[in-house]
Structure 1
């Protein structure tokens, strides 16, 4: 929480820091609260954080589910500066909110229903809230950057329950759930759970954007600028988060790259995927790369042997297969089989492998990983072995999409290779590499991967 209690009991506030909306932070939303008071009931005051300093703008309210701020009219045309959206889970299923919004903030997605109700007369755009979102959709779906620059950002809030004085309070507190743009808008027909009546509405798929460059916070000074009629849309977006600026520049194609994602601890840094600096392993990996640099196809056999060693200690039985012919492999360098189960009761799985002998420290991109994944069929497993590392985005896509793909980076590779050399070549790495190169041609064949199931 921003602010520090002084000896006199007064909260000292860093003005710039105090106007940062923190992702998943809870704010006190009291209807009559003063916009100059930082804390209310021990929580940051929503009206303080969102008010324009000087008090010359109306409050950014959350009284309704959809709350557009007043339109401003700068020299480049009128714009809606921002839309604040409030979801109230405790109302879901009630007459005032007979639908359920879905929040998946870890993966940057919210499905949000408009404010048309069974009792509303007219089409889904009849309510001010839905009309504001439909108008905003024209800019969010803009086909050029000048149109997208006019798009009002969506600030997402969710009512939350807090405990105070031994009581659970379901009203008066909101949690900031991020900055979003409209990815898709659909017209739907819903059914009121109480009366059984059907009614039209809109539903939006919102992309919650990454705020990592701002410490997972949103600077309200950007919203102040958007509410200032002295600034054109381009000028008003100068303080926008990097993700928003990237979306303005690139459009829909940028959404997968700017969407918020909470990175799993399974994602490793480049340093964690490479041998320690100045270590024996780093020197040996460099020597391994130099050996195969002029004959990278032979590296495929080493990758296949490493895959066999790694998968063979998993409790399943690994059967080595063959190498594919060089050129036109389509993301497949070697084939193996993993027999899962106990003796007499097993199921065989096809293993497809990709080998990339690159300069140690070189990053493998998501596209290279996707090439392997595209070859996998239901029940197949992939193994990607490289002397380099895997980019952060490549790892995230494997984890988020739950691809059955084992990633073997340079550090794991050299650890396994040194174990192989110690076990079979008395620790002589050169002897192991020479044997791998000599055995390459005999390991290459032209067969379909599924044939290994019948060997």
Structure 2
């Protein structure tokens, strides 16, 4: 069994015999299939060889490994996102600036695009053959970034998107793919996955239906009902809705703390300009789970009545869709400042039916403010200083070679003319 959140030792020797190595379960022991080749995590995208089953060719599994410590380097300038609590992973493919092959034809991207087509299968029989994705994340232990991996779950590809990426210090761009994975719920199995299922899929004598009997309950439900069932099959972790103040702030002396101080210093004395950055960060957060969000405009310096920017969140499409007005508040304050319940309430007081609020600050939210928001069920999204700097540094990594100031100036230059005193509801007409 492989358990979500468990860290495994991935040793160079790949010996499956020891149950543990250095106090951690041995990856090669828990993934051992007697008489068959080892399961490997040597690359980011590791496709296991196809087998000829009674129902045709099938790929037993693709093992995904993300290495956060490489994010932002010239080799891997992208930044994978793992939101395990909400069952969402955004993962970048293996095309690099130095790759001479056509986009989508590298080993990893070709495997994931093939799996994506399978995951869009229209019938249970097609989905029963679909390749499962097992996701791992490299973690640091004993000060070393290599040799340990954390199991993050079982994934299904929801979207595959072709995009242009920044190539680092060379100031060039290249084409790659990015994938949105849905992590399925393994509650019925105690947050564990049985390797026997993968072993059965590797057995040429086992039919797709017989192998499926060993799959987790949520995977079987997906095979039966298709992608329309994913919202209720997605992994969700119940969390306390109130976050303590220290958890909202970067650690003292950390790179995040320095970046947050840089943002505050940059906008000190020009707080109104911070609204453009807050609007861009809010857009990135609201789009994070695949939602469609339209940035609208910034309000004028006077007479905004508690709103600094306006946007629109689109849900569904056509007759099966609706749009929500997003009213945003931006507060550039010292990073150790607390936003109070009264400040949040002023934004909420502006909201009408069908509107939601977004509050973006370089500070933190007091426990009492969060408690009131939960108890009164305020329809508002809170983005604190730590969340703000995470989004900005990700934007800087993806599009500006890691240069945070260049990222901020790009946002400001792009939004200079989008300042008006229009009514928020006009965003619904665009």
- Normalised TM-score (structure 2): 0.58
Q: Deviations over 1:77-123 (max 9, x none)?
A: 00001000000011112232121101111000000000001111122
- Deviation at 1:31? 2.1
Tell me the equivalent position of 1:73. Answer: 52
Structure 2 CA distance for partners of 1:350 and 1:143, relative to 1, 3 Å: same
Tell me the equivalent position of 2:20. Answer: 39
Tell me the equivalent position of 1:173. Answer: 148
- Deviation at 1:36? 1.8
Tell me the equivalent position of 2:159. Answer: 184
Pick which of 118-127 and 254-263 moved more. 118-127
The number of equivalent residue pairs is: 264
Structure 2 CA distance for partners of 1:137 and 1:347, relative to 1, 3 Å: closer
Residue number among 73, 76, 94 corresponding to 1:115 in the alignment? 94
Tell me the equivalent position of 2:220. Answer: 245
Task: Please state whether the residue corresponding to 1:139 is helix, strand or coil.
Answer: helix
In structure 1, the gaps of 5 or more residues are 1-19, 268-339, 353-374, 380-397, 406-455
Tell me the equivalent position of 1:395. Answer: none
Structure 2 CA distance for partners of 1:194 and 1:212, relative to 1, 3 Å: same
Residue number among 65, 72, 76 corresponding to 1:86 in the alignment? 65
Q: Distance in 2 between matches of 1:204 and 1:349?
A: 39
- Deviation at 1:150? 1.1
- Deviation at 1:252? 1.1
- Deviation at 1:170? 0.9
Whether the aligned pair in 2 keeps the contact of 1:71 and 1:80 (CA below 8 Å) is: yes
Tell me the equivalent position of 2:392. Answer: none
Q: Distance in 2 between matches of 1:96 and 1:346?
A: 46
- Deviation at 1:125? 2.2
Structure 2 CA distance for partners of 1:348 and 1:60, relative to 1, 3 Å: closer
Tell me the equivalent position of 1:261. Answer: 236
- Deviation at 1:347? 8.7
Structure 2 CA distance for partners of 1:74 and 1:347, relative to 1, 3 Å: closer
- Deviation at 1:376? 4.0
Q: Distance in 2 between matches of 1:346 and 1:116?
A: 47
Q: Distance in 1 between matches of 2:378 and 2:347?
A: 20
Tell me the equivalent position of 1:432. Answer: none
Q: Deviations over 1:356-379 (max 9, x none)?
A: xxxxxxxxxxxxxxxxxxx54447
Tell me the equivalent position of 2:173. Answer: 198
Tell me the equivalent position of 2:303. Answer: none
Tell me the equivalent position of 2:122. Answer: 143
Whether the aligned pair in 1 keeps the contact of 2:356 and 2:379 (CA below 8 Å) is: no
Q: Distance in 2 between matches of 1:350 and 1:116?
A: 46
Whether the aligned pair in 2 keeps the contact of 1:185 and 1:202 (CA below 8 Å) is: yes
Structure 2 CA distance for partners of 1:199 and 1:238, relative to 1, 3 Å: same
In structure 2, the gaps of 5 or more residues are 243-340, 358-372, 381-430
Q: Distance in 2 between matches of 1:92 and 1:341?
A: 39
Q: Deviations over 1:355-413 (max 9, x none)?
A: xxxxxxxxxxxxxxxxxxxx54447xxxxxxxxxxxxxxxxxx98xx8639xxxxxxxx
Task: Please state whether the residue corresponding to 1:132 is helix, strand or coil.
Answer: helix
- Deviation at 1:169? 1.3
Task: Please state whether the residue corresponding to 1:226 is helix, strand or coil.
Answer: helix
Q: Deviations over 1:22-52 (max 9, x none)?
A: 1111000012131121111111100000111
Task: Please state whether the residue corresponding to 1:262 is helix, strand or coil.
Answer: coil
Task: Please state whether the residue corresponding to 1:73 is helix, strand or coil.
Answer: strand
Whether the aligned pair in 2 keeps the contact of 1:341 and 1:347 (CA below 8 Å) is: no
Structure 2 CA distance for partners of 1:350 and 1:170, relative to 1, 3 Å: closer
Q: Distance in 1 between matches of 2:114 and 2:149?
A: 26
Q: Deviations over 1:264-323 (max 9, x none)?
A: 3469xxxxxxxxxxxxxxxxxxxxxxxxxxxxxxxxxxxxxxxxxxxxxxxxxxxxxxxx
Q: Distance in 1 between matches of 2:140 and 2:162?
A: 31
Tell me the equivalent position of 1:227. Answer: 202
- Structure of larger gyration radius: 1
Whether the aligned pair in 2 keeps the contact of 1:145 and 1:249 (CA below 8 Å) is: yes
Whether 2:2 is the aligned partner of 1:27: answer no
- Normalised TM-score (structure 1): 0.55
Q: Deviations over 1:172-201 (max 9, x none)?
A: 000001110101011111110121121111
Whether the aligned pair in 2 keeps the contact of 1:211 and 1:218 (CA below 8 Å) is: yes
Structure 2 CA distance for partners of 1:36 and 1:350, relative to 1, 3 Å: same
Structure 2 CA distance for partners of 1:194 and 1:230, relative to 1, 3 Å: same
